[in-house]
Amino acid sequence: MAHIEATDPNGFKPNQEIFSEILQALAAKDRDIIAVTSDSRGSGKLVPFGKKFPEQIVEVGIAEQNLVGVAAGLAAAGKKVFAVSPACFLTARALEQIKNDVAYSDNPVTVVGISAGVSYGALGSTHHSLHDFAALRCINNITVVVPADNFETAQATALAATTNSPVYLRFGKRVMNSLKEVNDDTFAFGKGRVITEGNDAAIIACGETVYPAVQAAKLLAEQGINVTVVSMHTIKPLDTDLLAKLAAACQAIVTVEEHSVYGGLGEACASYLMQHGLHKPFRIVGIPDEYTVTGSQQDIFNHYHITKEGIAEVVKGLL
Amino acid sequence: MNKQQLEKKSVEYRKKILKYIVKANAGHTGGSLSCTDILNVLYNHALNVSPQTFTSPDRDRYIQSKGHCVEALFVVLADKGFFPEENLETLCQYKSHYIGHPTRKVKGVEQNTGALGHGLPIAVGNAIAAKLDKRDYKVYTLMGDGELPEGSNWEAALTAAHYKLDNLCAIVDKNTLQITAPTAEVCNTDPLDEKWKAFGWAVKEVDGHDVDALKAAFDSLPFEPGKPNVIIAHTVKGKGVSFMENNLKWHHGVPSKDEYALALSELDNSLQQAAI
Ligand SMILES: Cc1ncc(C[n+]2csc(CCOP(=O)(O)OP(=O)(O)O)c2C)c(N)n1
Ligand SMILES: [Mg+2]
């Protein structure tokens, strides 16, 4: 697969790299931090972690179900465990282990889905994870977090280490742009991060789709349309207070995600709005229910109009 | 095909594998080169399948469980006439069906694979169906050695022995490497022969680059009536290109222009030597 270039020369690093850096900093101070891998430490950027902390990495081989089960056992014995593997395998093949051994049994594992969404675009559906929000949203007792830039990734990783309940972190491979010049926000799971403000429409996005949403807002601002963009990094529990405020303030709401249009961020928002009588023009942008096209992640985003132009069009269509 | 012809084919295949990996700027180089001779002997000797018979219910089935080594499969399928080789120019490009894993959108591919640990269970299902329908076809599946810790493989191994699937042949491409490190360091599965035997399988070990040995192994199927068969093929990851051999870097490394030229000249040389 061709390397994905940062679309902005000020871009930082792939979130996976930030995750690894923070985990190393945490592991240096806390011997109970354990990474569990399934021949996945290279893609998880954890090779330096393994070299520095050989006692704090458990390698199970290519066996994702075993990975999550072992992680649960380690957590049950008091370890702070990060189970790291491509999101596609982790949240499909090992879903029962996540459901029973992590969530239901309340073993505080951080399940880390790497190379998520269509990061492995040209490798086909076996390597896409467009189902993980849906699958995990309907499992009780797991927080689902999708950081959109390096700041959110660092915060989310550190927070997951101190959270005494199951967490799913989802990262892609792309070099991320920073969403704000100054990150003075307080970061908390379940609290959406407002990136730009405007009352004509709201775009609620997560992960790698937040940046094109911000660019769409810029495009729209040039045309006199002012848009609030939210990085809704926590898919569950959803920031319904923020959602209610947006519905009250804006004329239309568009959601964007690197996930099936079924069962993800968009439907989570729709469900809340509908059930609370907050009826605003509303659209979900994501991957439709069809044989997913292949190519680079950017090719796939372009194909499904997950681009600044595509998102701006959808917003305009609602106003 | 005789030994010399098959060896010549393998060199051609290896050159093409590299060609299309370079073109796509992506691919699983080391593992495609380690299984080239196995695929060569399967498609040019063992398998009863062709583009004409591909829809026949009696055809032999080949399911590539180590789907990431799709370049080897695509090159062989093109050579066998399942599709024009020029289609591979689009490997991994936007909208191409020639993606980084086998899919049934490509003629000749039996099953969509890529997530490891799926090939054997599907092959077991195919082999049970053959028995139920009293058909003579055989079912083959190629697995990586790093792939073996997936539990689904061993669940399927039990089913295969339980149903006495002597029409099933699993091949393990034992190149001793995976992504992170040598397989023995990641999750040691040795002694491998004893594991398969304990699961009720008949085991043969061969040099996975010796085309005559591979032919003989396939010709002697079933190894024991009433038992599923496994061939443990001892191979070299990156086989045929000196600087790629036994080197982790080439699991999914793409050769630079210079490396590609060097690799081609090495492969050409080996062809000349074989001709002498
Ligand atoms: C279920 C699953 N987990 C992880 C991967 C990622 N992956 C692709 S190839 C590979 C290593 C495979 O090693 P091996 O089976 O030894 O193959 P080979 O050496 O023949 O390339 C891994 C971990 C995958 N494709 N499927
Ligand atoms: Mg191997």
First to last CA, chain A: 39
Residue B126 has pLDDT above 70, yes or no: yes
The percent of residues in chain B predicted with pLDDT above 70, rounded, is: 99
- pLDDT tens digits along A288-305: 999 999 999 999 999 999
DSSP classification of residue B66: S
| Cβ–Cβ contact A110 with B under 8 A | no
Choice from A62, A91, A173 to test ligand 1 binding pocket (greatest atom count within 8 A of CB) = A62
Stretch (H or E) spanning B170: strand B168-174
Do the chains contact at A61 and B146, CB–CB below 8 Å?
yes
Instruction: Give me chain B's average pLDDT, please.
Output: 97
Do the chains contact at B115 and A89, CB–CB below 8 Å?
yes
C-beta of residue A98 within 8 angstroms of C-beta of residue A67: no
C-beta of residue B73 within 8 angstroms of C-beta of residue B17: no
Instruction: Give me chain A's average pLDDT, please.
Output: 95
| Cβ–Cβ contact A236 with B under 8 A | no
- pLDDT tens digits along B3-26: 999 999 999 999 999 999 999 999
Please return the burial class of A85, using the count of CB atoms within 10 Å of its CB with bins 0-12, 13-18 and 19+. Answer: buried
C-beta of residue B51 within 8 angstroms of C-beta of residue B198: no
pLDDT at A181: 83
pLDDT (average), residues B51-66: 98
**Alpha carbons B1 and B118: distance in angstroms, whole number:** 31
pLDDT band at A8 (very low <50, low <70, confident <90, very high): very low
Domains and CATH numbers, chain A: 15-170 (3.40.50.970), 193-318 (3.40.50.920)
Q: Which residue bears the tokens 């002498």? A: B276
| Closest C-alpha to A256, from A297, A220, A307 | A307
Do the chains contact at B115 and A303, CB–CB below 8 Å?
no
Choice from B176, B177, B178, B183 to test ligand 1 binding pocket (greatest atom count within 8 A of CB) = B178
- pLDDT tens digits along A31-54: 999 999 999 999 999 999 999 999
**Alpha carbons A197 and A246: distance in angstroms, whole number:** 10
The percent of residues in chain A predicted with pLDDT above 70, rounded, is: 97
Query: How far does residue A244's CA lie from ligand 2's centre (Å)?
Result: 53
Does residue B177 have its Cβ closer than 6 Å to ligand 1?
A: yes
Query: How far does residue B45's CA lie from ligand 2's centre (Å)?
Result: 24
pLDDT at B98: 98
- pLDDT tens digits along A239-260: 999 999 999 999 999 999 999 9
Which ligand approaches the C-alpha of residue B142 most closely?
1
pLDDT at A6: 38
DSSP classification of residue B182: B
pLDDT band at A183 (very low <50, low <70, confident <90, very high): confident
pLDDT (average), residues A88-105: 98
Long-range CB pairs of B126-130 (<8 Å, 24+ gap) are B126/B61, B126/B63, B127/B160, B127/B163, B127/B165, B127/B167, B127/B168, B127/B228, B128/B163, B128/B165, B130/B167
One-letter amino acid for residue B257 of the chain: K
Class at the top of the CATH hierarchy for domain B3-274: alpha beta
Does residue A89 have its Cβ closer than 6 Å to ligand 1?
A: yes
Domain range list for chain B? 3-274
**Alpha carbons A137 and B64: distance in angstroms, whole number:** 34
Residue A3 has pLDDT above 70, yes or no: no
Query: How far does residue B25's CA lie from ligand 1's centre (Å)?
Result: 19
Residue A182 has pLDDT above 90, yes or no: no
Residue A1 has pLDDT above 50, yes or no: no
C-beta of residue A148 within 8 angstroms of C-beta of residue A233: yes
Neighbour tally for B52: CB within 10 Å: 9
**Alpha carbons A234 and A39: distance in angstroms, whole number:** 28
Strand order in the sheet with A193-199: A193-199, A227-231, A201-205, A253-260, A282-287
Which ligand approaches the C-alpha of residue A39 most closely?
1
